Each structure stands twice: as C-alpha cells, then as structure tokens.
Chains A and B, each alone.
Chain A
Amino acid sequence: MSTTTVAHHDEHHDHPTGIMRWLTTTNHKDIGTMYLTFSLIMFLVGGSMILGIRAELFKPGLQLMNPEFFNQLIGVHALIMIFAALMPAATGFANWMLPLQIGAPDMALPRLNNWGFWILPPSAILLTLPFTLALFGVGDGALATGWTFYPPLSVQGGIGVDFAIFAVHLLGISSVLGSINIIVTIYNMRAPGMTLMKMPMFAWGWLITAFLLIATIPVLAGAVTMLLTDRHFGTHFFDAAGGGDPIMFQHLFWFFGHPEVYILLLPVWGFIPQILQTFSRKPMYGYKAQVYSLWAIGALAVVVWAHHFFTAGMPVPALLYFMYSTMAISLPLAVLFYCWIRTMWKGSMSFETPMLFTVGWIILFGVGGLTGLVLADVAADAQYHNSYFVVAHFHYTLFAGGIMGIMAGVYYWLPKMTGHMYNEKLGKLHFWLTAISFNVTFIPQFFVGLAGMPRRIPDYALQFAEFNMISSIGAFVLGLSQLLFVYIIISCVKGGQKATDKVWEGAEGLEWTLPSPPPYHSFTEQPVVK
C-alpha cells in the first residue's frame, strides 16, 4: 500500500450525483456521513420502541400491548441500539475522522468500506420486518427472546428468530469488514513521523476495538448458526435430550457479548480525552498509561464473559475466577478515570456543549462502573442478576457511557464536518435535558431492582408502581429531548455561523489543520508529524 498519493484536484467532481453518489461512493466522508445518519435514524427507531415499553409499564396492568409483543420490543430495542445505533455511530466517526487524524487521504480499502455500510440497511430491515409481516398474518412477530437469543426459548420461537439470526450475521459481516479496513488504514496510512505511540487516542481506541470485533464476531456468528441448525435441521447443540447443553450457548454468546461492551465503549474512550484536552487547553494526561490501559481492558474483555450468567450454575473455582478477573477490570479503568480527571485538573476549562457532555459522561459512566464492581460479587449477583438493578447499571454504561459519549463527539466534530457552528444554546439545553431525564429514568430502576422487580416482565406487582411511573416520565422526557438533538444537527448541516479551521481554541491534531468542512479528498499532500 502506497502512503504517497496522487494529487487530486478538489474541483474535479467526476463522481455521480444524487442517489448514485451515495450508493457508489468510496469516499470516507460520504460513507462516514451515511453511517452517522443511519445510526441517528436507528437510534430514534430503537428509542420509540422502548417508549412503547415504558408506556406499558407506566402503571400496573396490561394497557397497550400483549406480553408477546412486549417481549418482541425489548429484544429488538436492544439489538437495534447496540448493532444499528451505537456501533455504526462509532464506525461513522472512524470513517470521518481517522483519515483526518492520521493524515491520510482516505481509508485504505474504499470499496470494502462502501460494502460495509450498504450491508447495514438490509439487516436493519431484516430485524424489523417480522413486525410488519405479522400485521399481514405472516409469522408471529419479531424475536421475542430478548437480544441474547437464549435457547431453548429461541429454539421454540417463531420466524422472528430466524430473521434476527440473519440480521446478526449481516451486521457481523459489516463490523468485521469495517474493522479490517480500520486496522489496515491505521497500520499503513499514517503520516510520516507518526509512530504508533504518537497516534491520536481515538485511533488507539478503534484499533483495539477492531481487534476485539475480529476476535469475537465469528464466535457469535457460530453460536447463532448452531442455533439455526438446532431450529431447522435437527441438531442438538443446545438440547440436553440430544446430548447438548443450553448453557453452552450462553458461554459462546457472552464470549462475544462481554467484549461487545468494550467494542461499544473503546472508541468513545478514544475521543473523550481529545475533547478533554481541547476544552482544558492542556495536553492529555498520561498518554502512555491510557494506551496501556486500553490494551489491558481489551485483553481482560475476552476472559471474563461468564459473569453474565453466574446464576446459571458453575463450579466454585470457575465462579471465583470470573469474579476476581471481573474485579480486575476496575484497575485499568481507574487509570483511565484518573487520567481523564487529571487532564481537567489545573486546565483552563470552558464548557461548550461537547465539554458538558464529556463531564456528564465521566460522572454518569462512573456510576455505571462502580455499580459494575458490585455486580462482580457472585453471591450478591444472585440478587442483582436479571433484576432492574442490572438494567439500570448497563444503561449507565451504554446510554451514559456510550450514547452520551457519541453525542459529545457529534458536537465536537459537527462544525468540522459541516463547516457551520451548531446552536450553542440549544446544544446546552439538549445536554441538561438529556442528563437530568436520563437520571430520572434510571435511578428509580436501581431501587425497583433491589426491591425485587425482575427485568423483561410486561406487568408488575403493586409495590413497584411509583418507581416505574417516575421512570416512565423520565423516559418520555429523555425521548422527546432527542428530537431537539435531531433539530440541532439538521439546522447545523443547513447553515449557521461559519466554522474556522481550528473550530475550538484549544484543539490539537491534524484534523484541525484542514478547512471546515475538509476538502473531498482529505490530505492530498501527507503532512509530516514531528
């Protein structure tokens, strides 16, 4: 792969226009934009599904839907949020920003890049089509097993399970393609002088994410394929009657599923320190320590999976091993928190929207991390497991730690991408609405979980009523606030105050040396990093 590029003239627009531009594009910014747009749309789809759930749970009794439909909504909500909202958002940022940050003209494998994106919309359709088919009397709706596909329930399920299995296959292929592209780009296309240890943190976060994806997606693909053959071809991988074991599926699933949590978070851990250094106007603290911590978390991610099903029954040594290894994750994570806060410390901070989201993110993700520490305790986990406590915990890590991080990134880079400043006042309003309503939604869920409410139930006992009502009110405010987010993005794309090249006073890095928006082919001359 050549790292020097032929000088392109920005003006020679020989690429097609209209819909064909987007279908055939191999440009990293176009593809990045498509990923981000797709992610935003699916975020709203997945969000409206959960608002249906929260409306049903507003008070005891069955009001809006039957339990079957309820079960379909919870599982598809999770799959959409994880695979179709969070992961594409991170890949979208990688497409947009990696070449800019490492001084490359484009991604290394542009055609693969195009294919990686265009697999996504069909798989999103596959995932949601069974809802529509059921309206026409075909099948009994979408996947109703929760996003985890646990057999034997998933063997018993209807066509929704098959659709979801194929959707997961396609989403997995897309992720692996994206990962290969990112690894190849990072290893081959860095600007001269940019050694690995001089790389922007975002590139580090994504590099480790890409390795994790390539290591674990095939295991998920294998597991759901075994499920498919159990369903249709009489194999008994997960059926005790034929010598199989339903719990084996859980081992395979979570061998993917736990690293998946870090796959969602590592890209965010990459750009959060960059935002912090920009708005603290001082270099990020402990670059090397952060890189080593990211690697440590990447390595630990693949050896702790069984803490997701302590209650399924395991020998005592296995329980102890998975408990202590899970606790060990808190060590590199604590190093990261230390470095993030030290970057703020004695800086010269200003609080534009990206910084607000970042500071909120550190605090709320901290809550997710600390409650995770308690969940590692096997004996206490018998109580927390599958209760609303766990639901609250993982929304602190994946909504606060994932989606709010992505939002920080959106506000941070939107002026660079569009060439316009977004509306700062509305951005701040969006932050406060999101942060407050998020807590109103999920703090009650910690308590209702401790009180004994299991997750994934369509109706509940009367003692859980008040907390659920507060949680539902919070969820609706949270959901509606995101319409403001959409409005801010659309009006920023359409116009607004012209953004400077550097956008932020304290911004450092190659992406800020290019005009806003950057030219169609990013770096026609590779910059040299000292």
Chain B
Amino acid sequence: MQGMKKLGVGAFALFLSLSARADFTWNFPEPVTPMALDTLHVHNKFMLITAVIFVVVLAIMIYSIVTHRHSKGYKPVADKAPSTAIEIFWTLIPFAILLLIDFVIMGIPAYHSVVMMEDTRDQSTMVIKITGSQWRWQYEYLDGDAKGIKFVSNLATTDGQMHNAEDKGENYLLEVDNPLVLPVGEKVRILMTASDVLHNWWVPQFGSSRVAVPGFIRETWVQVEKPGVYRGQCKELCGKGHGYMPVVVNAVSKEEFAQWANKKQDEQKAASDVKEMTKDELIAQGKTVYEKNCAVCHQVSGAGLPPAFPALTGSKVATGPIFGADGKYQKDSHMDRVLNGKGVMPAWKATLNDTEIAAVITYERNALGNTATVDAVVQPAQVKAARE
C-alpha cells in the first residue's frame, strides 16, 4: 500500500508540474455564436447536475463502505425490498427527482435548443454552400455581396512539420490556404454536401456541426458575433486524410466583407479568362496545383501509394494520347480522369478552373519523370472546350 501512495503522490506531482507549464482547457472554447453559447450553458448546467448526483451518491457509498464493514463486526440488516408505505415513498423520491431532471430541468431547455438549432432559415441573410471532399473543403457563396465566389480550402501545414522534420507552427494542422470569410452578426444559412464520402464541418466555437452527405443537402447555420479567426476540423472519419482537412473561418465586419467580396470576384473573373500559355508557364503553375491537390495521394514525387493510389510516373493515362481524331478527348484519357474522376479519384471539373486543369495535366505529362510524346501540352481553351 505504501508503494501505491508513493505512486499516487508522484502522479499528482507530475500532474501539477504539467499544469503549471501547459495551457489546459477544461471546457468548451469561448463561444462566438448563439448556438455555441446555448450549448455551453446547457453543458455547464448538466455537468453541475450530474456532478451533484455523482458526489451525493458517492458520499452515500463511501459512508456505507466505511461503516457497514464485516471487519468492524457490523451485523447485516436483511431488507430485500421496500415493505411499508413510508419506505416505498422514500424509494420513489430519487426516481421522481430523476424524472424531473430528465424531462423538465434538462428536457425543456433541450427542446428549445433543438428548435433553435434546426431553424436555419428564419432571419438568415445569406446562404453559402459547403462541399466536403477528400480532403478539402469547397466554399461557394450563393447570394448577396459575395454571390458567385467559389474556392477550395486546403491544409497549409507542410509535410515537414507533420513528419517532425521542421518545427511545428502555432496553428499546426489547423491552418488553410483560403479561409472561409463570413460577415459578423449575419445569420448565415449553410447548405452542406459532399462529393465522395461523409464529412462533418465543425468549428468548436460555433457549436454547430453537421454531416456532409454525398448526394444530399443538409442544412445548418452560424451567426458569428465576434470578429476573429476560428479553427476547427472535419469530424467524420473520411479516409487517410481525415486528420488533415481543417476548417478556418475568418469573421470580419460587414464593410470588410464587402471589400473582400469585391476583390475576390475580380480575381475570379480574371482567372476564368482563358488565354494561351507557354509550356513553361503551364508547368510552373501546374506544380503548385499538383502539390496542393494531388500530392496527398499520388505523392509529391508521383510515385503514388499503390494499390489504392496509383503512380503517375510512367502511368499510361498520364503519358498516353488525350485527343482523338475528331479533336475531342477520349474516354479514360488523362483529361477524362482529371475532369470526371473514377472510383477513388475525385472529379475536379467543379473544383479547379480551366487554367488550373490545363496546368496540372501539362505538369503531370512533363514532370514527375514523365515525358509525354503525344498531347504534351494542354491549353486552357482545350479544357474549356472539353467541358462542353
């Protein structure tokens, strides 16, 4: 027993020393939406109630354990069931308390929370669509100032940090290239879907999470009350990249949001203009697109992770002909695979623009150890034509 005590003291000391230097959080992070605030209140209240129940019952047990001991010569009192009316009454009291806790103290506020959580439309002022795909989020603004803006949000943490080759940054695994931007104070209705498997868009400080189901639209809403950068991640197991699809939301004032929307719309318009590019320009841009979107599975080197994710280096698809005699792309050609996907390979036509697709195809055909002899360069105009 002495050993046990020492162990206990040691563990406690370790715990103290850890808590002295570490930044522990014991509860939900600061709520910034009405939903999260409600959840925090509900959680605190329920935790208090359950803690009281736990402590009271434990105290009764401990009293019994200390007092009603064989070693103290305590004589057992045989009572098999409540017999008198008074005894039955006392037995029913805890039952009645629990009934009250379940369906009144917890049940009634829970009812209101559910109704609030599910009311996505009332007073909502803008609508966005979130599409989860392996392993990135795609955001699209469906109305208002930012109507038509559409972009993909990828993990920005480097491979070196994940494999302990570099020091980990402050927002390790919770940083993206393009955060979702939302105006403060607006009730934003979110339409949620997925392109491949189930995902779940979750920001702990928002208190709402909803599964993104391929082929279906699910709804939720957020109303961020405080400007700031909020971080979360996917919380439905979605394959090997499940831990690597963070959510970052940048909540800004309405004015800043309008400015951002204008700028983004102009950028998007410029990017969608199709112009002739040189092979080197395409390869240079293709490298960026590839490393951001394709390297997760096919690897930076192009070696892939067979058998699930084939190598691109030396691949027939990535070196074979694309266009047939009629000038249209052939089935199962490089263009077909990138635009439409197949099996585990996602379709990219909705995610990447013409220039990006032309660039990445050209890159894959001329880098990663490949030198395609036919259709070595694909121009944005050809991608545009292929979409039609």
B77 touches A346 (CB 8 A): yes
Is A527 in the interface zone, CB < 8 Å from B?
no
A52 sits at the interface (CB 8 A): no
Task: Determine how close the nearest CB of chain B comes to the CB of A249; give it in whole angstroms.
Answer: 10
| Given A338-B91, A348-B76, A61-B28 contact (CB < 8 Å) | no
- Is B145 among interface residues, defined by CB-CB distance under 8 A? no
Q: How far is the CA of A440 from the CA of B18 in the complex (A)?
A: 14
Query: Given the known A-B contacts A246-B213, A344-B68, are A61 and B237 also in contact in the complex, defined by CB atoms under 8 Å?
Result: no
**Are A382 and B207 touching (Cβ within 8 A)?**
yes
CB interface residues, A 21-70, toward B, < 8 Å: 60-63, 66-68
Q: Is the CB of A450 within 8 A of B237?
A: no
Q: A62-B163, A62-B164, A346-B77 are in contact. Are A386 and B200 (CB under 8 A)?
A: yes
Return chain A residues, CB-CB under 8 Å to B89: none
Taking a contact as CB atoms closer than 8 A, the residue among B43, B198, B218, B243 that contacts A153 in the complex is B198
CB interface residues, B 319-355, toward A, < 8 Å: 343-344
Please choose the segment from B46-54, B262-270, B273-281, B369-377 that sits at the chain A interface, where 4 or more of its residues have CB less than 8 A away: B46-54
Q: Is the CB of B215 within 8 A of A153?
A: no
Given contacts A245-B216, A309-B211, A383-B28, contact A460 B95 (CB under 8 A): no
Known contacts A285-B80, A379-B113, A379-B116: A359-B61 contact under CB 8 Å:
yes
CA distance A348 to B76 in the complex (A): 5
Which B residues from 100 to 143 make CB contacts under 8 A with A?
102-103, 106-107, 110-111, 113-118
With both beta carbons as reference points, the residue of chain A lying nearest to B82 in the complex is identified as A286
Task: Known contacts A380-B43, A382-B117, A454-B234; decide if A152 and B214 are in contact (CB<8 Å).
Answer: yes
Q: Which residues on the A side are within 8 Å of B162 (C-beta)?
A: 61-62, 459
A182-190, A263-271, A364-372, A509-517: which lies at the interface = A364-372
* Cβ contacts under 8 Å, B106 to chain A: 327, 373, 377
The reply to whether the CB of A240 lies closer than 8 angstroms to some CB of chain B is yes
Residues of A within 8 A of B24 (CB): 447, 466-467
Are the C-beta atoms of B50 and A370 separated by less than 8 Å?
A: yes
* Contact status B172-A344, CB under 8 Å: no
Q: Point out the residues of chain A lying under 8 angstroms from B163, CB to CB.
A: 61-62
Q: Is the CB of B214 within 8 A of A286?
A: no
Q: Is B385 an interface residue (CB 8 A)?
A: no
Least CB distance, B209 to chain A, in whole angstroms: 5
Is A230 engaged at the interface, CB distance under 8 Å to the other chain? no
Inside 8 A of B233's CB, which chain A residues have their CB?
454, 457
Complex CA–CA separation, A375 to B239 (angstroms): 26
Q: Which residues of A contact B170 (CB under 8 A)?
A: 462
Cα-based distance from A284 to B35 in the complex (angstroms): 46
Main secondary structure of the interface of B (DSSP, over half): mixed
* A316: interface (CB < 8 Å): yes
The reply to whether A282 and B307 contact each other, CB–CB distance below 8 Å, is no
Residues in chain A near residue B94, CB distance under 8 A: 334, 338
Contacts A62-B164, A323-B110, A359-B65 given; indicate if A461 touches B198 (C-beta within 8 A).
no
Across the interface, B80 reaches (CB within 8 A) one of A67, A144, A287, A379, namely A287
Closest Cβ of chain A to B20, distance in Å, is 11
Tell me the bound Cα distance from A334 to B57 in angstroms: 11
A32 to chain B, nearest CB (A): 30
- Residue contact B57 to A462, C-beta cutoff 8 Å: no
Q: Say yes or no: A282 contacts B77, CB within 8 Å.
A: yes
Q: Which of B52-91 contact A (CB under 8 A)?
A: 53-54, 57-58, 60-61, 64-65, 68-71, 74-82, 91
A63 vs B70: C-alpha distance when bound (angstroms): 52
A470 at the interface (CB under 8 A from B): yes
Q: Given A246-B198, A313-B211, A377-B106, do A347 and B76 touch, yes or no (CB 8 Å)? A: yes
Which chain B positions have C-beta within 8 A of A350? Answer: 69-71
Say yes or no for B148: interface residue by CB 8 A criterion.
no
Q: Which residues of A contact B360 (CB under 8 A)?
A: none
Would you give the shortest CB distance from B268 to chain A, in whole angstroms? 29
Query: Are A348 and B68 in touch, CB under 8 angstroms?
Result: yes
Whether A320 lies near B111 (C-beta < 8 A) is yes
**Is the beta-carbon distance between B171 and A379 smaller than 8 angstroms?**
no
B173 near A280 (CB under 8 angstroms)? no
Query: Chain A, 284-295, contact with B by CB distance < 8 Å: what is the 0/1 string?
Result: 111111000000
Distance in angstroms between the alpha carbons of A253 and B164 in the assembled complex: 39
Which one of B28, B38, B70, B216 contacts A348 once the chains associate, using CB atoms below 8 Å?
Answer: B70
**What residues of chain B lie closer than 8 Å to A309, measured between beta carbons?**
211
Q: For the complex, is A520 an interface residue (Cβ under 8 Å from B)? A: no
Evaluate whether A366 and B102 lie within 8 angstroms (CB atoms) in the complex, with A386-B200, A466-B18 already known. Answer: no
The answer, yes or no, to whether A20 is at the interface (CB within 8 Å) is no
Q: What's the minimum C-beta distance from B84 to chain A, rounded to whole angstroms?
A: 15
Within 8 Å by CB of A246, from B4, B204, B214, lies: B214
Give the residue of B68, B102, B168 whose beta carbon is less than 8 angstroms from that of A61: B168
Q: Is the CB of B46 within 8 A of A282?
A: no
Residues of A within 8 A of B218 (CB): 312-313
Q: Given A245-B216, A311-B211, A366-B54 in contact, is the A456-B42 Cβ separation under 8 Å?
A: no
Tell me if B171 and A313 are in contact (CB < 8 A).
no
Q: How far is the CB of A232 from chain B (nearest CB, A)?
A: 13
A419-457 toward B: CB 8 Å interface, digit per residue (1/0)? Answer: 000000000000010001000100000010011101111
Closest 9 CB pairs of A and B: A240-B215, A379-B113, A457-B243, A452-B204, A454-B235, A370-B50, A282-B76, A466-B22, A350-B70
What are 7 A-B contacts defined by CB distance under 8 Å?
A: A241-B215, A330-B102, A342-B79, A350-B71, A379-B110, A436-B7, A469-B18
Q: Which residues of A contact B (CB under 8 A)?
A: 60-63, 66-68, 71, 139-140, 144-146, 150-153, 156, 158, 239-241, 245-247, 280-289, 309, 311-313, 316, 319-320, 323-324, 327-328, 330-331, 334-335, 337-338, 341-342, 344-351, 359, 362-363, 366-367, 370-371, 373-374, 377-380, 382-383, 385-387, 432, 436, 440, 447, 450-452, 454-463, 465-467, 469-470
A379-B39, A379-B117 given; name 20 further pairs at CB < 8 Å.
Answer: A60-B172, A62-B163, A152-B214, A156-B343, A245-B216, A286-B80, A311-B210, A324-B103, A327-B107, A334-B95, A341-B61, A344-B61, A350-B69, A350-B70, A378-B114, A379-B35, A436-B11, A450-B25, A467-B24, A469-B18
